[in-house]
Amino acid sequence: MGINEINENTSVYNANYKSACTSTMPSEKESDQKYSEETAVIYEKNASANREQKATYKVDQKQIDRLKADADSRKKQLQDIVDKLITKQGQAFDITNGKNLKNLYAGLKVDAKTRAQAQADIAEDGYYGVKQTSQRIFDFAMALSGGDPDKMEEMRSAFEKGFKKATHSWGDKLPGICHETYDAVQSLFDDYKNRQKKASEEVNDNLN
């Protein structure tokens, strides 16, 4: 094969190769456009995936039910505590004053020692006196609510229901000492609420 033939074949080969490359390889502009289109598709796909992921969030109803049951149980505990404390306070008052006991305490034997103990119990600083009984009820409310201001208002409602329950169990109007205790407990709730409100306002003032 001569040199001229080799050169001629080489020219044909190069021409065919250039033609093949031109027909199969995209231009720079076409490449950029294709890349842009592919990128847009991928972006839309990711956006769709994000929407699907957000749609999977849902309320945990079982957890809500458990928390509600726990809250109801705590309120019921306070109601029962108030019922028992107020009823016992009324009993101690009646024993001290020599009144006939009724309902749950009908037939209870009251001797001099029992009367003396009851009198000590309802004294100003006695176990069933207004000060100690009201503070004990409020302390129970604090313990059951964890000191949460919102839950404390729920505890206040539970206290009121417990007092009504004690009144119903008593079968008549409770002795005056019990109503004094009711007012004292309400004052403790009010004082706590006002302190929390003042503390919250001070924090807001500092932030501003």
Q: Are 159 and 141 contacting, i.e. CB atoms less than 8 angstroms apart?
A: yes
pLDDT score, position 96:
86
Q: What are the C-alpha distances in Å from 85 to residues 12, 73, 121, 137, 140?
A: 112, 18, 12, 8, 12
DSSP string, 31-78: HHHHHHHHHHHHHHHHHHHHHHHHTT----HHHHHHHHHHHHHHHHHH
pLDDT score, position 77:
95
pLDDT score, position 35:
41
pTM, whole model, 2 decimals? 0.66
**What does each of the 208 residues of the chain score in pLDDT, given as a tens digit?**
544 444 444 444 444 444 444 444 445 445 444 444 444 444 444 555 555 555 566 778 888 888 889 989 999 999 999 999 999 999 899 888 776 665 555 556 677 888 899 899 999 999 999 999 999 999 999 999 998 999 999 999 999 999 999 999 888 789 999 999 999 999 999 999 999 989 888 887 778 7
Dist. CA 136–CA 82, nearest whole Å: 9
Please name the amino acid found at residue 109.
K
Q: What are the C-alpha distances in Å from 182 to residues 60, 110, 114, 126, 187?
A: 39, 27, 25, 16, 9
As given in the structure block, the two tokens for residue 49 are: 């995936």
Q: Are 70 and 152 contacting, i.e. CB atoms less than 8 angstroms apart?
A: no
pLDDT score, position 17:
41
Q: What are the C-alpha distances in Å from 31 to residues 18, 22, 25, 142?
A: 18, 13, 9, 71
pLDDT score, position 156:
97
Instruction: Give the tens place of pLDDT for each residue, 30-89.
Output: 544 444 444 444 444 455 555 555 556 677 888 888 888 998 999 999 999 999 999 999
Dist. CA 203–CA 199, nearest whole Å: 6
